[in-house]
A and B are shown apart, each in its own frame.
Chain A
């Protein structure tokens, strides 16, 4: 009974804070405020790949801390307590994306599993593909800096690749993000494209493993 009351409280409190603060960018239903789409391109929270805990971390520290190029999604730790931010994360998860876990489990269960024999080849394959494809935008070290990014600035066609060293995505999330692309998971632009037509699951899981083990520094 007490636990249920706590959940109700979290939901209502999270909703209240969300509607006072987050709604201006992310919109009432978590599918973004259409006016802000033209300016800051907020994430569609109804499609997020993030867990409740990860939403809490992003809201607390701000997206820049976790590898985003800009601080358009600012840190709220000086505005709200941890408990309040957790309430917001709880509200976002329950109100906008209640089927997230099942969706991710389904996508993972439908992906090819990696044979014992192929597991030893994953890091080498991941490194090759990362250097060939991912590094064009994310840079060889994964820091989000590359010649392509500089050229995009010169052409005023800006792209903002993540600093993958600081991503809080798990290996499985990185695989799903690369496979289906950013738009599938709620970004406004398709700067991070879907790679599923080009590469098989083994290759994309290898890239995810490489990023998780060799690029990412925040564990």
Chain B
């Protein structure tokens, strides 16, 4: 039974991609670097008592989650391999490095 569940998880991960949770807390992305596979998703949490944003200008993975209210989760998908930065448009010192394989 365990083998079936593990096999199912591996299969669903391969089919749908894994999810990586990135917290935004204290005006910092936690973790501040993440390795992912193409097709994985990044779930941005906002644990601060004020709004955040997350965007990348990387052409192959371009996204902008817009204004993210406190407590709200927003998901972005990694579409292409490469190393790219994700930033917050409101707080200039926030930086997340994503390595997509």
Contact = CB atoms under 8 A, between A and B. Distances in A.
Q: Do A and B come from one complex?
A: yes
Interface of A: 132-133, 136-137, 147-148, 151-152, 154-155, 157, 159, 193-195, 197-199
Contacts of B93: 193, 197-198
A195 B93 CA distance: 8
A206 to B, nearest CB: 16
A154 B49 CA distance: 10
14 contacts: A132-B55, A132-B89, A133-B89, A136-B53, A136-B67, A136-B89, A137-B90, A147-B67, A151-B67, A152-B50, A157-B49, A193-B91, A197-B92, A199-B92
Contacts, number: 40
Nearest to A181: B92
A151 B92 contact: no
Main DSSP-derived SS at the B contact region: loop
A17 B87 CA distance: 47
Contacts of A155: 49-50, 70
Contact of B92 (A152, A154, A159, A194): A194
A199 B92 CA distance: 9
A148 B70 contact: no
Nearest to A147: B67
Contacts of A151: 50-51, 67, 69-70
Interface in B36-64: 49-51, 53, 55
Interface residues of B, number: 14
B50 A157 contact: yes
Contacts of A193: 91-93
A17 to B, nearest CB: 39
B91 A152 contact: no
A43 to B, nearest CB: 22
Nearest to B68: A151
A198 B92 CA distance: 6
A194 B27 CA distance: 14
Contacts of A148: 51, 67, 90
A110 to B, nearest CB: 20
A178 to B, nearest CB: 10
A195 B50 CA distance: 19
